[in-house]
Structure formats: structure tokens, C-alpha cells
Amino acid sequence: MINLKDVLKGKVVILCIGNIERGDDGLGPYLAGMIKGRVPYEVIDAGAAPENWTGVITRLKPDTIVMVDAIYFEGEPGEIRIFSGEDLRSGKISTHDVSPKLLIEYLKESTKADIYVLGIKPEANRFGEGLSKSVRNSLEELERCLLKESQ
């Protein structure tokens, strides 16, 4: 599993992004529901509109922001990887739209926080479907890891 110890430093905001109506794209909000109130981090379920949370995040003055989202990269469905905000800004990885790039730019400028993208490769994001088995398994693994890291 990923070593989150290197990422979860200082005051941490975990920004969970995605649309629960679109299969694996909803993995962020699902994770938020699994860990909110169970970890010492500020967990935000931003749904499909993370830009609406910039004021809240800026006021929290985090040292680290971890954005959790479905990310397309070379690998198997359900695979988890941590990318720097720079990887997304430079176009090395792809989300479903451009807003995360703009969001990272804005949050970097307004908070000076270290920004990471915790990406899980989706299997399917068809409207009206639930999470795929591979992504569900990855979320359970991630939940265990985050709970362990916070002890």
C-alpha cells in the first residue's frame, strides 16, 4: 500500500471529489462517508463541485491538501497512486475535466499548502451505476490505511 505518512503532514484537508451518480467517478464522496469523523483530518465531500469549497479550505489554513478523485493513468482499474499537484498541472495525468487543474492553481496560491492528488483508476463511470468491485476494494484498503495512519 502507499506510504501516506510522507504526505499526511501538519494540518491536513482531504478533499473528496466525484459524482456518485456516475459509477467509479463517485469514489471520492464514498471515501468521505467512510472516513469522516474517524480520522484527525478535515474531510470534505466536495461532490462534483470542488470549486465551491475553496473559501472553506482557505479559511482552514491547511499545510497539506489531498484531493481524492478518479484519475486516468496507465495501470489496472482500482489501482491507487499519489501524484503531486505538479503532475496534474503539467498534464501527466488526466481527470474527467479541467477544473482540478484550476483548483490546484488556486489552492496553491491561496493556501501555500502542499497539494497531492490521490488517484484511483476507475473501471466504469456510466450514469446510474454503483462502484465497481475493484474500486470498492481499493476504497476499503485506503480506509484501513488512513485509519491506521491516524492512530
Answer yes or no: are the C-beta atoms of 29 and 58 closer than 8 Å.
no
Mean pLDDT calculated for residue range 55-60 = 97
User: In the structure, what pLDDT confidence band is assigned to residue 89 with cuts at 50, 70 and 90?
Assistant: low
Measured distance CA(38)–CA(127) in Å, rounded: 30
Helix residue ranges per DSSP H, the chain: 27-35, 54-60, 85-89, 99-111, 133-149
- Give the domain 4-149 fold: Rossmann fold (3.40.50)
pLDDT per position as a tens digit, 4-46: 888 999 999 999 999 999 999 999 999 999 999 999 999 999 9
Answer yes or no: are the C-beta atoms of 44 and 16 closer than 8 Å.
yes
Q: Where are the domains of the chain?
A: 4-149
The whole-chain average pLDDT of the chain stands at 89
Nearest to 108 by CA among 62, 69, 71, 72: 62
Measured distance CA(50)–CA(98) in Å, rounded: 12
Specify the pLDDT at position 102: 83
Specify the pLDDT at position 5: 80
pTM of the model: 0.90
Specify the pLDDT at position 92: 53
